[in-house]
Amino acid sequence: MSFAIGLTCISCGRTQKIEGMQYVCPDCGGNLDVEYDYEAVARRLTRESLARDDDRSVWRYWDLLPLRDRSHVMPIQIGWTPLYPVRRLGRKLGMEKLYLKDDGRNPSASFKDRASSVAVGKALELGFSVIAGASTGNAASSTACLCASLGISPTIFVPKAAPKAKIAQLLVFGARVFAVDGSYDDAFDLCTEVCREYGWYNRNTGYNPYTREGKKTVSYEICEQLGWNPPDAVLVPVGDGNIISGVWKGFKDLLAVGLIDRLPRIIAVQSEKSGAIVDALPAGREIRPVAATTIADSISVDLPRDGAAAVRAVRESGGTGVLVGDESILEAIVEIARGAGVFAEPAGATAYAGLKKLRETGGVGPGETVVFLVTGNGLKDVQSAMKAVGEPTPMAPSLERFKEYMSKEG
Ligand SMILES: *Cc1c(COP(=O)(O)O)cnc(C)c1O
Ligand SMILES: [Zn+2]
């Protein structure tokens, strides 16, 4: 059973009942948000009930998820990723209470596994025979991974320029993969048309309302891992805006069921070469598509598909937006790796790059409890990482040569 009771349009506010698979608002085409019976959830889900629960995965928050039965739960561990106090990075930035949430530790090595867990579960619950999705890479490799754990092969559309490791994941997990001769946005539109034509399940981010439901679990974990003391601010790398809208929803859910008593500021970080959501944050502005070119492929998005919800999350929370250069994203990969022992892909290092900039401008205080998300593992895109670190020292297999080298190095 599930406490999900309806789907509300983020744009016009109309609520409809949940029946079969609904993607967007029938009236205005806006994105949908799942509503819950919070009073009923609050009677079951308490700090004590959670303390007794030994499930260490996204499913520990079942009562706040939209699935009805557990028979479609994947047999691999999704979520409950580590929240590290990163004291050395904190000292460097003059901060006392800085935390890193390492979501590269998910089964397909990115945050997207949270989204896929619920979205794929929903497809199976509804009896779809084909699951399809378009992706810059991670949503696809995540869908392929989780489907493989259940013996299913999804149909995937990726831009042909997606990093090799992500394409390798797709093929290894046995997905049917189409490398689209175009951008992520082209792959997205093709996937949506194909799903309509063939009646397939569409997992696309910012179109399927259930991806946000999986993504919000990160906020539940952060609060629980901090002993139910919510942070003051959370920094999120933003592409389509679905993670950040999920992060905000997660905190609001916990407030609604009485598990926390205040909400953090939500801070959106984008590359200045893919900044559609940050550009739209000032009052009176609207989302306008950009021509995205950032090296951080996972957040390279022309038209953010969950833009309205993302902008609302930042505004409602009293947060802010930050744009960072690709150079500083590459630097952040190295700093996080050396400062915390965590290897992030470019998008995964972007929130930290934004934090550095905000510390310079005073947007985050030295005594605040701050969490930044690392959303993807660095092994997914070693080519970009290599741009920041140079090459190893060539060496002959000879002790003599090695000693010569050492004497020169002094
Ligand atoms: C998808 C992704 C993001 C951005 O999430 P959106 O929901 O598109 O804003 C950030 N980092 C990584 C590693 C991702 O895969
Ligand atoms: Zn609507």
Q: What is the DSSP string of 150-215?
A: TT---EEEEETTS-HHHHHHHHHTT-EEEEESS-HHHHHHHHHHHHHHHT-EE--TTTSTHHHHHH
Distance 208 CA to ligand 2 centre (A): 15
Fold of 83-109+211-389: Rossmann fold (3.40.50)
* Dihedral pair phi/psi, residue 233, rounded to 5°: -150, 145
With the most atoms of ligand 1 within 8 angstroms of its CB, the residue from 218, 299, 303, 374 to mutate is: 299
Determine if ligand 1 sits within 6 Å of the CB of residue 350: no
111 conformational bin, left if phi > 0, alpha if psi -120 to 50, beta if neither? alpha
Ligand 1, atom 7, lies closest to the CA of 242
Q: Among all ligands shown, which has an atom nearest to the Cα of 33?
A: 2
Residue 392: alpha-carbon gap to chain centroid: 32
Burial class (CB in 10 A: 0-12, 13-18, 19+), 29: exposed
Distance 367 CA to ligand 2 centre (A): 41
Here the tokens at position 175 are 């997905």
Determine if ligand 1 sits within 6 Å of the CB of residue 271: no
Domain limits, the chain? 83-109+211-389
pLDDT tens, position by position, 342-389? 999 999 999 999 999 999 999 999 999 999 999 999 999 999 999 999
What are the residue ranges in the chain where pLDDT is below 50?
none
pLDDT tens, position by position, 8-55? 999 999 999 999 999 999 999 999 999 999 999 999 999 999 999 999
Determine if ligand 1 sits within 6 Å of the CB of residue 103: no
Determine if ligand 1 sits within 6 Å of the CB of residue 223: no
Determine if ligand 1 sits within 6 Å of the CB of residue 378: no
Give the whole-angstrom CA distance, residue 158 versus residue 297. Answer: 12
| pLDDT at site 410 | 63
Distance 305 CA to ligand 1 centre (A): 12
- What does R_g of the chain's alpha carbons equal in angstroms? 21
Determine if ligand 1 sits within 6 Å of the CB of residue 240: yes
| pLDDT at site 354 | 98
| pLDDT at site 43 | 97
Do 400 and 394 touch, CB atoms closer than 8 A? Answer: no
Nearest CA among 111, 153, 118, 119 for reference residue 136: 111
| pLDDT at site 306 | 97
Measured from the Cα of 206, ligand 1's closest atom is 7
Distance 241 CA to ligand 2 centre (A): 18
Cα 159–Cα 163–Cα 164 angle in degrees, nearest 5: 110
CA quadruple 248, 101, 321, 378: dihedral sign: negative
Do 214 and 115 touch, CB atoms closer than 8 A? Answer: yes
Measured from the Cα of 215, ligand 1's closest atom is 7
Q: Which residues contact 72 (CB under 8 A, 6 or more apart)?
A: 120, 121, 124, 125, 150
